[in-house]
Each structure stands twice: as C-alpha cells, then as structure tokens.
C-alpha cells in the first residue's frame, strides 16, 4: 500500500512538472494563458478564442459562421493584422447606380485581400486533438506577433482562418458529456415512434462518462486479457477458447421500453461525408450522408465560408488518429489532380511533413528529375498502376484515401476533395496522434501480437504518467436488462486522442511547424517599378496614334502643348511568394478568376487610349521551383467566358481597338509588365491596384512626372 | 360427410363497412353544386383580376386574403426567408374536414424559380384561386380538394421576382437569386447593372450617332433598321445595347448584373460546379423549398413553372446503359420503326405521344405512366410539346431523382415566336415583331426612338421594344388563357393520383369447413401507388393488405411455394395473405388478386380486409359468411 502511495506521489510531481513546462513554453508574450494538461472541449475552446479576440483586437476577429442543430455557434477566429491590407472595392468608385438600391453585396474586409490559410479541427466530434492543435497554433501566432519577426510578417501579410471546432455538438458530447460522438447531432425520430432522440446511450453508474459494460455471455466475442485483466481481447470469428466469454457493449439501457437499446440517439450524420464532391454514386444514387450535399448546418457553414472567402489557398482539416496525412483524392483516383499540383503536394508539402514526423522520404522525392527511372523500376515490382504512372508508392505518412491497388474509392462527399476540386485549394486531412511515435519512450512492437502489446503498454503508460486516471477500472454493476456485469474502460475523450500534457504538446508543436511551413508557401503579389511619364500634350484627348509591334510602341505625337497630357503608365506586377496564385486549374473554376490589375484615376479626367481600365493578367507563378515544372512550361489559362451576355464596349474614337487583355497574356512566370497610355485632363491622382484572389490585393499611387 | 353441392352460401357484404376511400367519415353533399357548364362557378366569390402582373406585396396579400376567406380549405405559411429577407409564402390547399394535408397524396407547384419568369406566379395563383372558389360549385374540384393536397409556392425566387416586376428590367433579368457574383472577373461583385437611362420606367435599347454605324432610322421613324446600302447618305447609328451606365468605369456597360448561380442548376441531382456554383442548395430560396419538400413525403408529383417555349418537360427515368453499340444504320432503322409506330398511334389520337427511350430495368412503370400523363398534357395544353428533361441540378430532376415524385417542368407561353412569325421561318424579324405589337398588343410594348443624354456617352438615342412582358412573359392580356389550361393539366394529374380499392371478394368452399377467400385490389388511375424511383430510393412505403376474422374463423397458413395448390379459382394466380398481411405495389390501371384459406367453425362468421397505401389511401371490406341449409 505504501509503495503505491509513493508511486502516486511521484506521478503527481511529474504531472506538475509537465504542467509548468507547458505553461512556460509560450509564456513570454502570452496575454491569454493556455495549457494543454487536459482537453478544452467546446466550452473551454469558445472561452479561449473569445478571450483572445478581446485581448488582441488589432490582429484577430471572431466570426460566427453558423450554428449546429443544437444551437451551438461555430466560430472562426481570423488572425491577421486588421490595420494592413486592402481590397479592390475600396478603390473603385461606383456611380450612377440603379435607383432600386439592392444591398446584396457587403463590403470586403481588408483581411480578404491577403492570401489565406484555413485550419480546423473536430469535424468528427470525438477527434478533438485537432481542436487542441488549433488552439496551440492560435497561441503561437498571437503571442509570437510581438516577439517573432517571421510570425509578425505572416500576420501582417496573410490571413489565418482558424476554426477549432467544426462540429460543436459532437465535441460537446464527447468531451463535456463523456459520450463519444463522431457525427453531428440532429433532432430526429430514428425508430419512428413519434418521439425525438429518446433513446441514446446512458451513464448508468453516474460517474460522468459513458464507458463500457462487460458481462459474461456464452456467445460473447471477448475474453479478458491474461496480462492486463482490464483489457478485453476480441476473438476471431471461429476462434475457440477455454476462458469465459464476454460481451462488451456501450453503457446504455432501453430508455423507451421498446426492447431496444440506443435505437434513437442524438447522433446525426458524418459531416465529412456531406460535401458536394463525389457525393453521388456513378448511377446517380446517394453515396454520401445527409439528405443532400451540405445538408448539415456544419458542412453548410463551412461551404458558405469558403464561398465568401475566396482568398483561401491552403486548408487543413485535422482528424485523429494514425499520425499521417491524406492529400486528395479519396472519392476518385488521383489522376484527376493536375500533375503540377501532385508535385506541390508530394515533393514540397509531403516531404516536409515526413521530415517533421520523422518518417522516411521516398527516394523518388529526393531526386524527382530521375522520375522516369523510378517508373521503370516500379513497373517490375508494383501492381499499383497509379504508383507506376507517378513513379513512386505513397508512403505511410502521406497518402491518398483512395484505394489505388483495388481501384476503389474510399468514400463519398469528403471535405478536402471538394475544396481541392471545386474551390482550388491545397486542402489536406491530417490524422493526428500515433501513440507508438508520439509517446516518447514506448517500446516498438512488431509481429502478430503488436496491437495487443501496444494496448497493454498504453494502458501501463497511463498508469504511470496519469495515475491511472484516464481509464475507469471495471466495477460491478447490475444492468436493468443484461443483469450482472461490470462497467469500466477508457474515458471516452482520451480514447483515440493524444494524451494531454507531453504527448499532446509534442503533436501540437509538430503540426504548428507544419502549418508554419505551409503559410510560408503562400503567394504574395506586389507592384514594383510603377511609373507615369508624360509623353506630350495635346488639345484632343484622342489625338495620339499608337502603333504597337511586340514590345515596341511607336507613338505619333500631336501638338506639343494643350489641355491633355498623354501619359504612359508602366509597372511590374510580381509574385514574390513561393507558390502560384492559383492551383493548376484554379483560375478556370467557377467562382475563381485570374489575377487582375486596374489603373484608376478621376473618371472625368482620364481617357484610356491604350489598355483597358482593368486587365486580366492570368495566374502569376511563384518563385519556388516545382520539381518537374518550369514556369515557362505552364501555359497561361485561357480567359474565361463567363459573361452571360456579350459585354458592351461603348464607342470611343480609339486610335487602336481596345482589348480586355493586352500583351500581358503572352507573358508567363511570376512577373508581368503592364502598360497603359492615357490622356489626362488637368490633375488627377492615379493608382495601380493589383488584385489576386489568393495572392492578395496591393495598391500603388503614382505621380505623373 | 356432407357433399359440397348440398351447401348453399349466403354471402353478405357488410355494407356499413364499405367506406369512402382514404377518410373514415361521410362527406356532406356539395352545397352549391353547379351542373351546367354555362352556370355560375363562384368566380365572383373572390374576384381577382388576371389582367396584370402583381408586385410581391400585392400577390402575397392576395394569398393571405383568399386564405382568410377559405380558411376551411387552406393554410398559409412562410417556408423561410430569401437572401434579402423576403418571406417565401406557401399555401396549402385541402379540405380540412376530410383529413390532414400530410395524410393525403400531394401535388407540389412552384412558380418563377427564375426571377424574370413571373408568369409562373400568375399560373400558380390562378390554380389556387380556381381550386378555392370552385370548391362549392364544381364536383371535379370538390373531389380533388377533398382527396388531395396542393402545396403551392407561387414565387420561389422572391427577391428577383419582386425586382423584375417592380423595376425597369430587360426580359431576362434579374433571373438568379441575389448572391453576389463577379461576372466579368474584375474583382468586383454585381457592380454594373442595367439602368433606366431615360427614366420612362422601361428598359429599351441604346443607339449612338456614328458616321460608321450600321443602322439608320426607318422611313416611318419608328425603328432603327440595318443599312443595306453602306453608301447611303443618312444619319447613321451604332447599336450600343440595353439601357445602362458604365458604373465602375471599366469601359463596359451592364457587364456585371445582379445575381449568382442559376437557381434551376442549384439542386442536388446532376449538379455541377460550372452551372450551379457555388454548391448545391447554396441559395436560401432553393434550400428552403427543397427542405419543405423533403419534410413532406406525401408529395406525389410536382410542377415547376418556367418561361418560355410551350413545353411539357417531364423527368424521364434513368436510361438503360446499352451494352452494345449501334451502328449509324441500325440507329436509323430503329428511328424509322419508332416514327412509324408513332404515326400509327396518331391515326386514332392526334395527341398521342411516345418516347424512344430504353429505361433501366425496374423503371418501366414510371415511363409508362409518364407517357400516358403527358399525352393527356398535350391534349389539355393543345400547342405544348412534351419532351424529356433531367439532370444538371434542375429542380424537377431532384423532385424525381431524389424524392421519387413525378415531376414536370412547364415552359409556359410561346409568343411572339408562335404567333408573330408570319413567314414561318422559325424566327421573328423586327418587322414581324412590330406588326405583332401593333396588331396583338395594339401598339403597347414599343418605345419610339428619341434622344437622351448619357453621362458616359454624351447624346444617345433610345428606342425599340420594351423589354419586359413582350418576349418572355406573356403580355397581361394572355395571362388568363395560359393559366387556365395549365391549371387544368395540374388538376388532371392530381385526378390520376393512385387510389386503392377493394374490388371484389369471392368465397369458394373447400372440403370440410375450409373456405378460399379471394380478394381483388385495384388502382384504376394512371399513376402507380408509388413510383419505381421511390422504390429504388427506398423512400416508398409499400401497399399492404391485411385480414382479420370473427372469433370462429382462423387462417390456414399456406407456405408461399404451395400457393398453386388452390382449386379452380383465382388463387392459382394469387398471392396469399399471411398473418402479417401481404405487401405489394399496384401499378397504374392494375388489379391484383390475393387469397387466403380459412377455417370456419359454426354456421356464420366474417372476414375483413384492410388495404393501406402511402399515396393511394385506405379501403376496407367486411364479408359476412352464413351457412344456410
């Protein structure tokens, strides 16, 4: 007895040390303290992000993007310098608007004019490790703003949209109520008895958790483990045993007396099967969940948010568990991805991720220029046609959920597939928490009994580090329907989630580093070398004649003095970020557009002689070399034909016919040289505004010299 | 042992139990039944003028007022709010005295999902008015309103509907819900709409004087006409287009009008990003509507009104995927054979319709019922043409594909293409259009060319047709004509909703105290009791027949595979009814036979059959069996 007491005391001390370490780690500039010694759940998360939004008003905004079926708000915390950034609608003055005065367009927020990154957790309610990672990232960002110049630059120039809890009801039930719930909640009558949600799981012993009930049952599929009698070992289908057989069921009774247990719970649908991409089967029947794509309020809220925040280029949906990342696709073979995007996903992001989680990087990724050689080699060894065409098998830590060897889709209506395919976002799903790796000092198990041995070791680990508090010991209980048995097992919230304290902090730090790396890849569009030069003066705005051949412009002058200054405006538009302003086919997707540059002056004083007020300049490549792709090899996207009716040009006496696009569309790479020829009457401010959906909006005011 | 021939049976049908279908109570006779087609049918009980288009405030008030007057037949509710906060009002019509609306098979009707196609509002309102005002007078309407429910949503896309009617607009805009969209890719949303430049309350066409222009004024100065001789020395014009300003200063006029996705590409089935962006059911007005339909599984069929083209577009069942490829020659032959078949049909019925469609196995009944229904549609609507439709995120596609309800998209109205095209070349020239306006519209709908000043262009000219209610929505004088026949077609479809009836019961003595009892259940309507699609979707509840008996009668269970041991009667072709009853689906115009073998102790007893169908109502019949010696 005494030794046990000592043991506990030792554990308690260890706990305190972990706690202190955890609090110190970010305390320097931490104005809203946060610790990771237990999960925050929905309530704790909401309190924390509200505190952050209050304490850091200059760099955060809290937005409610929807409500769950049980009425709990879904929040996104925007992290971006609220004093920097601009959007195009702030610069174009509209006039002579319709008298009807419909107010359907809300002014854009400045942070929508910066490249955006979405990070979210807990689409599945019982996978709330992702919520903790989100909170960790929030803490690192806001408290690093004053102390870390790189973080400051990111917050000044980029926008982070962090949604720690996508599924409030699932998290609330899993953490606060102690009932593990992957799906969302819904008011419904599963058993059609006229009563809504009247028979869900029950906390029979009233200990605050819905754990498990085990009872002797000659037909049971479980036996008690020899080594650790707290563990239940599942038998194979026809496995024989001399040990007493048990059945293990969730803690639950028949609440409505219909002879069934748990037949009408609060559980609704899987939000990550409720998105539009691949929701239908090939024959037109339903494949995903819910009545229709985005029928759940959570998927609806996410879909609407992305629709209205077109600046998002990066997205992460944190799930648990496994310790690996799914990049698209799961609903179709990955040949639907553009090869260039595959290269960005695998050679750039995947490589970094494998480094961070300490797994081996495929040889082909290290030398992508030799990819043909790897393809030939794979032809001999692999049965996976997709791997052969790619040149490598995807490693354990970075894969697709599509089953490539059996050529079968993983599922229907996945969020990340939808974001990549329909919104042009580099979206991924990381399955956090690999206890074998993330618990330091755990022995490695291999062979037939590896799973069982790992389960024993994890149970032992929680005895030592958590004084056994994560697992409820089995205690006798008389079930109203099933009779004598015992209640016990893992506390639901710890099951499948990173253990609080050291293991959780480790997981958080790794993925904070990963998101930081991804943020560093975002594009950044800038204007350089903006110049306005007076060519000559004239009395007639349209007097100049211009002849353009390639890059040579010959201007025939009019009179040397007059009311109008004929001005040549030039500038260089450049993407200084690492990735292009769109994914490979991003600009062609409905809802997306090419990068655009405007020259804006006083409308009554400026006449455009050459170059339209706004020009489409295609997609600006990034400065990073994408293995296998040079900037030149990417053809510029063809201009979209999304006009319903032909746009009307009002007739000017133009010296040259106006074109909506100029020579710029012949230019490729990360730079565009742009040029206008205008006639200016009197004095006017002039400014160039470049606006890229995912590369940011920038303004440069220019003086006429 | 008594010989069978010595026995006589008196079979007494328990008349008291032959009930009216679907509701368990007798109805009062119709109060003001009008049998003469020339008589008064209640149209002045609630007078509505069909000679104009109504604003949102006006037509929603009409709905509320008529509901107040006919509150025993109708209820009104808002199924949700549009993007701009307008209520989407829906009226539910059914006789409350005969049962709850959700317990009767229902007809769904929505109008004007496209904001500019407000003719659908008129047609929906007309149907509502026809059903309510004629209920007391018209036996056909009386039966329909007693036996069915009508869910009518006159204006689906209320924001655009309101804007279209109340403000100067072209024939085509506003069409979509007001989700901001960047049509011209300049980074701004909905920033360059049309404007009424000359302030006459109508949108027409702008021209500007231009020595290089291709237009001149016609001799009567009413029209801008294309120059035939470019050498001609006249005042020339260049056509600019519909009235409006360059709001954002980008050199283009009206290039980014209000509105986002096509609402009739925004439904889930067959949805694609390009047409239905940003995501399925993204618009409050479409989502509210679809959510309502989902929550009302009693909806059996649906009508969706559009303009224009005079088409009955029905959603065809999924097509069979052909395993072998036909050669062009085979296809041609096939087509010939089909055309011949259709011609044969039309020898006896000029409205006959047939469709050269191979449906997927299990969808034959849906195809069959739809072909019959649209044949009648072609007859009732006269110059409307039935065609198939589906997919692409259209509302009617989801009504059938996802809810399993029969669905029709009606393209209302066809003029001026139909009437004005004098030389029948398939298009309406300016001259023909002007003539049509002069004759049919007595000159309404034309703007005389006149000068006007424009802030971006200087002096311009405006003239030509008024855009609204000339091309796409019928001029007001045709509203009633179009609405009346369309109401007739909707009512015809509702009259063909399935109805299960117990047709006849036969008792045949078997040896000893055993009796075969045969029962025939029929549906004499065109529609089956549930659609093939609803069955495939597993949304359907099958029809069910059960039997109960007096205490001295008991059922003799016959294993299913032994059914055919029966005597000379129907039972050889019949299903047996087990203790739990038997489940089935009645097709259109179909009778099914069931049998049971019972044992009766004593000299009299009774057997009662109950049939229940999700959409076809209920029926029961009790048969008394008496042994007379």
Interface membership of A4 toward B (CB under 8 Å): no
Task: Say which range, A155-169, A611-625, A637-651, has the weakest mean pLDDT.
Answer: A637-651
Check CB contact under 8 Å for B191 and A94: yes
Complex prediction ipTM: 0.93
Taking only the tens place, the pLDDT of each residue in B96-147 is: 999 999 999 999 999 999 999 999 999 999 999 999 999 999 999 999 999 9
Closest CB to B208: pick one of A292, A647, A651: A651
Higher pLDDT, A400 or A634: A400
Average pLDDT over residues B169-180: 94
Name the A residues in 466-495 with CB < 8 Å from any B CB: none
Please classify residue B469 by burial: count the beta carbons closer than 10 Å to its beta carbon, then call 0-12 exposed, 13-18 middle and 19+ buried. Answer: buried
| CB contacts, 8 Å: B254 with chain A | 645, 647-648
Mean per-residue pLDDT over chain A, rounded? 90
User: Which stretch of DSSP H or E encloses residue A120?
Assistant: strand A116-121
Interface membership of A94 toward B (CB under 8 Å): yes
Check CB contact under 8 Å for A104 and B278: no
Other CB atoms within 10 Å distance of the CB of residue B388: 16
Which ranges in chain B are annotated with CATH 3.40.630.10?
56-164+263-315+389-414+476-495
Name the A residues in 359-398 with CB < 8 Å from any B CB: none
Residue A564, both tokens: 């109008």
Name the A residues in 281-300 with CB < 8 Å from any B CB: 283-286, 291-295
Q: Which pLDDT does position B256 carry in this prediction?
A: 94
Taking only the tens place, the pLDDT of each residue in B61-75 is: 999 999 999 999 999
Check CB contact under 8 Å for A593 and B187: yes
pLDDT band for position B550 (cuts 50, 70, 90): very high
Minimal Cα–Cα distance from A136 to chain B, Å? 32
Check CB contact under 8 Å for A92 and B248: yes
CA angle A110, A620, A614 (to 5 degrees): 65
Minimal Cα–Cα distance from B243 to chain A, Å? 11
User: In Å, what is the CA distance from A162 to each residue of A31, A425, A577, A579?
Assistant: 19, 16, 22, 21
Interface membership of B320 toward A (CB under 8 Å): no
Q: Is the pLDDT of residue A662 over 50?
A: no
* Residue B293 φ then ψ, to 5°: -65, -40
Closest CB to A284: pick one of B269, B273, B280: B269
Q: Which pLDDT does position A543 carry in this prediction?
A: 61
Check CB contact under 8 Å for A650 and B456: yes
Q: What secondary structure does DSSP assign to B564-593, as a single string?
A: GG--SSGGGG-EEPBTTBEEE---TTEEEE
Q: Is the pLDDT of residue A222 over 60?
A: yes
Q: Which pLDDT does position B559 carry in this prediction?
A: 66
Q: What secondary structure does DSSP assign to B272-334, as a single string?
A: -HHHH-S-TT-SHHHHHHHHHHHT-TTEEEEEEEEESS-EEEEEPPPBP--SSPPPHHHHHHH
Residue B266, both tokens: 């925004």
Helices (H) and strands (E) counted in chain A, each on its own, are 15, 25
The residues, any chain, with a CB within 8 Å of residue B233's CB and separated by 6 or more, are none
Q: Is the pLDDT of residue A663 over 70?
A: no
Which ranges in chain B are annotated with CATH 2.60.40.10?
4-19+499-628
Q: What is the CATH number of domain B4-19+499-628?
A: 2.60.40.10
* Residue A678 φ then ψ, to 5°: -130, 155
User: Which stretch of DSSP H or E encloses residue A462?
Assistant: helix A450-466
pLDDT band for position A608 (cuts 50, 70, 90): confident
Average pLDDT over residues A148-171: 98
Taking only the tens place, the pLDDT of each residue in B486-530 is: 999 999 999 999 999 999 999 988 888 999 899 999 999 999 999
Is there a contact between A671 and A576 (Cβ–Cβ < 8 Å)? Answer: no
| CB contacts, 8 Å: B402 with chain A | 286, 292
Nearest C-alpha in A relative to B282: A304
Task: Report d(CA A130, CA A611) in Å as an integer.
Answer: 49
From 3.30.56.10, 3.90.1150.10, 3.40.630.10, 3.30.1600.10, which CATH number describes the B56-164+263-315+389-414+476-495 domain? 3.40.630.10
Average pLDDT over residues A491-516: 97
- The residue to which tokens 């008690």 are assigned: A224
* Percent of chain A scoring above 70 in pLDDT: 88
Task: Say which range, A378-382, A647-651, B12-16, has the weakest mean pLDDT.
Answer: A647-651
Q: Which of B532, B510, B506, B489 lies closest to B598, judged by CA?
A: B510
Interface membership of B510 toward A (CB under 8 Å): no
* Cα four-point dihedral sign B51, B55, B58, B62: positive
Q: What secondary structure does DSSP assign to A387-456, as a single string?
A: HHHHTSPPPTTEE-SSBTTTTB---SS-HHHHHHHHH--EEEEEEE--HHHHSTTPPP--STTHHHHHHH
Interface membership of B309 toward A (CB under 8 Å): no
Interface membership of B294 toward A (CB under 8 Å): yes
Q: Which pLDDT does position A314 carry in this prediction?
A: 98
Task: Report d(CA A579, CA A694) in Å as an integer.
Answer: 10
Check CB contact under 8 Å for B184 and A640: no
How many Cα neighbours within 13 Å face the side chain of B86?
22
Residue contacts between A and B (CB atoms, under 8 Å): 162
Mean per-residue pLDDT over chain B, rounded? 91
Pairing of strands A116-121, B575-576: unpaired
Q: Is the pLDDT of residue A343 over 60?
A: yes
Q: Which pLDDT does position B1 carry in this prediction?
A: 39
| CB contacts, 8 Å: B84 with chain A | 102, 104
Q: Which pLDDT does position A537 carry in this prediction?
A: 81
Q: Which pLDDT does position B7 carry in this prediction?
A: 39
Residue A41, both tokens: 């759940």
3-state secondary structure of B18: coil
SS (H, E, C) A591-630: CCCCCEEEEECCCCCEEEEECCCEEECCCCCCCCCECCEC
pLDDT band for position B558 (cuts 50, 70, 90): confident
Q: Which pLDDT does position A29 carry in this prediction?
A: 72
Q: Tell me the β-bridge partners of B502.
A: B521
| CB contacts, 8 Å: B272 with chain A | none
Minimal Cα–Cα distance from A36 to chain B, Å? 37
pLDDT band for position A28 (cuts 50, 70, 90): low
Nearest C-alpha in A relative to B195: A98
| CB contacts, 8 Å: B247 with chain A | 94-97
Average pLDDT over residues A288-299: 98
CA angle A692, A695, A699 (to 5 degrees): 60
Is there a contact between B173 and B258 (Cβ–Cβ < 8 Å)? Answer: yes
pLDDT band for position A556 (cuts 50, 70, 90): low
> What is the total residue count of chain B?
629
pLDDT band for position B289 (cuts 50, 70, 90): very high
Task: Say which range, A275-279, A354-358, A600-604, has the weakest mean pLDDT.
Answer: A600-604
pLDDT band for position A11 (cuts 50, 70, 90): low
3-state secondary structure of A108: coil
Check CB contact under 8 Å for A651 and B253: no
| CB contacts, 8 Å: B253 with chain A | 647-648, 650
Check CB contact under 8 Å for A94 and B189: no
């Amino acid at each position: 007895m005494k030794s046990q007491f000592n043991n506990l005391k030792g554990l308690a001390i260890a706990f305190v040390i972990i706690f202190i370490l955890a609090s110190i780690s970010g305390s320097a500039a931490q104005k809203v303290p946060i610790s990771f010694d237990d999960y925050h759940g929905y309530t704790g998360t909401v309190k924390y992000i509200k505190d952050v939004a209050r304490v850091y008003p200059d760099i955060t905004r809290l937005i409610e993007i929807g409500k769950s079926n049980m009425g709990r708000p879904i929040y996104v915390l925007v992290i971006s310098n609220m004093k920097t950034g601009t959007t195009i609608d702030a610069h174009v003055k509209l006039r002579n608007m319709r008298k009807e005065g419909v107010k359907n367009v809300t002014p854009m927020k400045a942070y929508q004019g910066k490249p955006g990154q979405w990070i979210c957790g807990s689409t599945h309610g019982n996978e709330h490790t992702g919520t903790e990672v989100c909170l960790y990232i929030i803490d690192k960002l806001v408290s690093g703003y004053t102390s870390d110049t790189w973080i400051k630059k990111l917050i000044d120039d980029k926008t982070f949209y962090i949604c720690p809890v996508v599924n409030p009801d699932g998290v609330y039930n899993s953490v606060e109520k102690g009932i593990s719930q992957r799906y969302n909640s819904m008011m419904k009558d599963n058993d059609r008895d006229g009563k809504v949600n009247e028979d869900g799981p029950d906390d029979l012993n009233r200990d605050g958790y819905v754990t498990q009930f085990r009872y002797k049952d000659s037909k049971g599929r479980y036996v008690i483990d020899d080594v650790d009698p707290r563990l239940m070992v599942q038998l194979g289908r026809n496995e024989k045993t001399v040990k007493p057989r048990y059945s293990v069921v969730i803690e639950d009774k028949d609440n409505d007396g219909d002879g069934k247990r748990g037949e009408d719970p609060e559980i609704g649908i899987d939000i990550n099967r409720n998105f539009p991409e691949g929701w239908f089967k090939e024959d037109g029947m339903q494949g995903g969940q819910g009545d229709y794509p985005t029928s759940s309020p959570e998927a609806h809220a996410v879909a609407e948010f992305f629709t209205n925040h077109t600046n998002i280029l990066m997205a992460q949906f944190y799930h648990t568990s496994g310790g690996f990342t799914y990049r698209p696709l799961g609903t179709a073979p990955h040949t639907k991805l553009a090869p260039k995007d595959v290269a960005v996903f695998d050679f750039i992001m995947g490589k970094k991720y494998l480094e961070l989680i300490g797994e081996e990087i495929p040889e082909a990724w290290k030398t992508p220029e030799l990819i043909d050689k790897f393809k030939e080699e794979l032809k001999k060894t692999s049965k996976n046609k997709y791997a052969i065409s790619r040149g490598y098998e995807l490693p354990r830590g970075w894969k697709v959920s599509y089953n490539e060897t059996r050529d079968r889709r993983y599922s229907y209506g996945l969020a990340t597939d939808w974001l990549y395919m329909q919104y042009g976002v580099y979206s991924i799903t990381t399955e956090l928490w690999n206890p074998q790796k993330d618990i330091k000092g755990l022995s490695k198990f291999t062979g037939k009994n590896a799973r069982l041995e790992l389960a024993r070791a994890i149970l032992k680990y929680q005895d030592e580090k958590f004084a056994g508090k994560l697992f409820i010991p089995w205690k006798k209980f008389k079930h109203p329907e099933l009779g004598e048995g015992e209640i016990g097992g893992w506390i639901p919230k710890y099951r499948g989630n990173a253990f609080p304290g050291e293991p959780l902090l480790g997981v958080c730090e790794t993925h904070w580093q990963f998101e930081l790396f991804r943020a560093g890849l975002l594009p950044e569009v800038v204007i350089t070398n903006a110049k306005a030069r007076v060519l000559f003066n004239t009395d007639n705005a349209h007097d100049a004649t211009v002849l353009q051949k390639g890059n040579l412009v010959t201007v025939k002058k009019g009179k040397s003095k007059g009311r109008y200054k004929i001005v040549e405006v030039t500038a260089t538009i450049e993407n200084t970020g690492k990735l292009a302003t769109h994914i490979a086919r991003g600009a062609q997707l409905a809802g997306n557009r090419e990068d655009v540059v405007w020259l804006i002056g006083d409308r009554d004083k400026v006449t455009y002689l050459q170059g339209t007020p706004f020009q489409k300049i295609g997609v600006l490549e990034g400065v990073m070399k994408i293995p296998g792709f040079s900037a030149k090899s990417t053809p510029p996207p063809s201009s979209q034909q999304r006009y319903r009716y032909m746009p009307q040009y009002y007739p000017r006496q133009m010296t040259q016919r106006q074109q909506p696009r100029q020579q710029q569309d012949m230019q490729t790479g990360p730079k565009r040289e742009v040029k206008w020829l205008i006639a200016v009457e009197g004095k006017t401010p002039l400014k160039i505004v470049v606006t890229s959906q995912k590369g940011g909006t920038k303004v440069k005011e220019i003086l006429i010299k | 042992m008594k010989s069978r021939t010595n026995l006589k049976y008196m079979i007494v049908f328990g008349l008291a139990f032959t009930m009216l279908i679907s509701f368990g109570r007798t109805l009062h006779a119709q109060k003001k039944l009008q049998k003469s087609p020339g008589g008064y049918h209640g149209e002045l009980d609630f007078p509505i003028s069909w000679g104009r288009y109504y604003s949102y405030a006006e037509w929603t008030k009409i709905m509320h007022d008529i509901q107040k007057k006919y509150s025993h037949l109708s209820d009104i509710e808002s199924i949700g709010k549009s993007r701009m906060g307008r209520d989407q009002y829906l009226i539910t019509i059914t006789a409350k005295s005969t049962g709850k609306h959700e317990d009767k098979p229902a007809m769904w009707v929505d109008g004007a999902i496209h904001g500019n196609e407000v003719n659908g509002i008129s047609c929906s309102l007309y149907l509502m008015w026809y059903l309510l005002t004629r209920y007391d007078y018209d036996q056909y309407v009386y039966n329909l309103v007693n036996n069915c429910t009508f869910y009518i949503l006159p204006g689906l896309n209320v924001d655009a509907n309101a804007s279209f009617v109340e403000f100067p607009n072209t024939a085509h805009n506003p069409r979509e819900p007001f989700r901001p969209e960047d049509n011209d890719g300049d980074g701004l949303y909905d920033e360059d709409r049309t404007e009424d430049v000359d302030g006459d309350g109508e949108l027409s066409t702008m021209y500007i004087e231009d020595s290089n222009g291709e237009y001149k004024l016609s001799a009567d100065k009413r029209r801008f006409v294309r120059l035939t001789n470019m050498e001609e020395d006249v005042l020339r014009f260049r056509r600019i287009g519909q009235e409006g300003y360059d709001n954002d200063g980008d050199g283009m006029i009206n290039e980014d009008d209000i509105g986002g996705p096509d609402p009739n590409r925004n439904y889930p089935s067959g949805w694609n990003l390009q047409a239905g962006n940003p995501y399925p059911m993204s618009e409050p007005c479409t989502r509210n509507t679809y959510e309502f339909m989902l929550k009302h599984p009693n909806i059996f069929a649906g009508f969706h009104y559009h303009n224009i083209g005079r088409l009955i577009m029905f959603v065809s069942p999924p097509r069979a995927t052909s395993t072998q490829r036909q050669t062009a020659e085979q296809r041609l032959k096939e087509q010939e054979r089909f055309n011949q078949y259709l011609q044969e049909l039309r020898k006896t019925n000029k409205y006959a319709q047939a469709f050269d469609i191979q449906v997927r196995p299990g969808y034959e009944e849906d195809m069959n019922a739809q072909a019959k229904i649209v044949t009648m549609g072609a007859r009732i609507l006269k110059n409307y043409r039935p065609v198939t439709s589906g997919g692409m995120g259209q509302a009617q596609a989801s009504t059938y594909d996802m809810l399993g309800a029969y669905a029709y998209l009606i393209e209302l109205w066809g003029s001026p293409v139909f009437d004005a095209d004098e030389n029948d070349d398939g298009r309406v020239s300016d001259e023909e259009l002007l003539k049509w306006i002069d004759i049919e519209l007595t000159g309404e709908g034309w703007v005389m060319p006149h000068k006007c000043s424009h802030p971006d262009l200087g002096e311009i000219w405006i003239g030509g047709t008024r855009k609204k209610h000339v091309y796409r929505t019928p001029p007001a004088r045709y509203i009633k004509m179009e609405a009346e026949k369309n109401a007739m077609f909707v009512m015809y479809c509702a009259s063909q909703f399935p109805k299960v009836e117990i047709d006849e019961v036969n008792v045949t003595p078997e040896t000893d105290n055993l009796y075969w009892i045969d029962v025939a259940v029929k549906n004499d309507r065109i529609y089956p009791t549930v659609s093939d699609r609803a069955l495939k979707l597993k949304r359907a509840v099958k029809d069910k027949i059960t039997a109960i008996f007096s205490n001295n009668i008991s059922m003799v269970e016959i294993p299913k595979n032994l059914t055919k041991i029966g005597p000379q009667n129907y039972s050889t072709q019949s299903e047996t009814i087990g203790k739990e009853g038997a489940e089935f689906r009645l097709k259109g115009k179909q009778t099914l036979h069931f049998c049971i073998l019972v044992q009766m102790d004593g000299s009299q007893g009774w057997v009662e059959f109950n049939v229940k169908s999700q959409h076809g109502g209920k029926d029961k019949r009790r048969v008394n069996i008496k042994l007379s010696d």
